[in-house]
Amino acid sequence: MKITVHGSGYVGLVSAACFASMGNEVLCVDVDHARVARLKRGEVPIVEPGLDDLLAEGLQSGRLQFTDQPAAGVQFGLLQFVAVGTPPDEDGSADLRHVLQVAQTIGGHMQSEKIVVHKSTVPVGTADQVRAVMAAELHKRGKALPFDVVSNPEFLKEGSAVEDFNHPDRIVVGAESARSIEVMRTLYAPFTRNHERLMLMAVRDAEFTKYAANSMLAARISMMNEFADIAERLGVDIEQVRKGIGSDARIGYAFLYPGAGYGGSCFPKDVSALTRTAIKAGHPPLLLQAVEEVNRRQKQMLFGKIQAHFGGKLQGLTLALWGLAFKPNTDDMREAPSRVLMEALWKEGAQVRAYDPAAMAEARRLYAKQPLLSLCQTPMECLDGADALAVVTEWPQFRSPDFEDIKRRLKRPVIFDGRNLYSPQQLRAAGFSHYSVGRPAVTA
């Protein structure tokens, strides 16, 4: 098939590369000229395992191309995938400017049938708006061309997006025309050879499904963090509780880990957008609002522990920080707990020495003018001259460090464990003060 993908961000680039790897001809459109130039050279602008190889393969085969000319993209594919950003507006609702601009572009340049497929996470009713915009553009041109609008939300996890795309647990397609359903079935057939994963539903149902899925996962995280806060005050080990409830098949272990709060480009934005949608529909979303509030509080948790340990006197102290990305296997720092922690520390006059396996360039971009931040080449280098260590992201290489070396390098043997990576008993025996999430503190 010939496929156009509008947007070369996280979702668009992964989708384009994976579709091309299955033999389709794909043209990816982005109005960012510099980004397109980089992609044409084979430079991947995001950190995502496996994506480099797919991009190189697609470019070499000629099945994957890039352009900064939207009109060329409209002419190229029957399928017009929309994977542009829907950032939060001032009130938290999804900003559909870019989505509607693409719809206007398609309607203004199409010369033949088009099936517009939304990969972008959009509120219920967006497909209706897109239809109206495209119809208006065609009317202006005096054209009567067939088109349809389909919802095909992505369920990719940053850090495993290529694997998720190629081996999906479900493919949700919101479509009502037999023609669109047939085309989407054909497109996804190579991804569903083992067993049928394609779920057909109405367009509005599919639009809602994405928001409901992310909000449900965010709710599990906030619920576990709420439990952890209570457990800590009662002298309970939340890790034992997690095992006890996770073993229940009705609950399971996924997204059941207490920590420093969720971040990234999806959960915060989508919970907020669904909250605004509910309010506009006349329903007060009390649970969604609580999920957001618990997460806001949780992102302050590590700072509160640090402040309490040092008696509120942080001026002139240096904190070593392991982990800047909001999760492992990505360089994404959007809404990352590390940012909340660092900015709170800087406000109190503390310095930060930080390391992340993937997000150093992003941190440098975000905080280029921050004199209280030093970015280090190795995790151990961060510790030199620091008063304590804070672990914020659960990268595998942080899981089994040399605690004796850590102790030698730190001015004081103190670890703030924001992801419960370490055993309190082991650190007590090693002479550390250890503060984790939902477990009794260990003081040296």
Q: Which residues are catalytic?
A: 266
- Cβ atoms of 376 and 382 within 8 Å: the answer is yes
Q: Quick one: DSSP state of residue 227? A: H
DSSP string, 317-355: -EEEEE--SSSTT----TT-HHHHHHHHHHHTT-EEEEE
**Tokens 């309190």 correspond to what residue?**
424
What are the b/e assignments for 269-289, b being 16+ CB within 10 Å? Answer: bbbbbbbbbbbeeeeebeebe
CA distance 433 to 422: 12
What are the b/e assignments for 398-425, b being 16+ CB within 10 Å? Answer: beebebeebbebbeebbbbbbbbbbbbe
Distances (CA, A) of 158 to 154, 165, 326, 431: 11, 11, 10, 37
Residue 423's contacts (CB-CB under 8 Å, 6 or more residues apart) are none
Q: Which residues pair with 339 in a beta bridge?
A: none
Residue 297's identity, in one-letter code, is R
CA distance 93 to 87: 8
- Classified as helix, coil or strand, 442 is strand
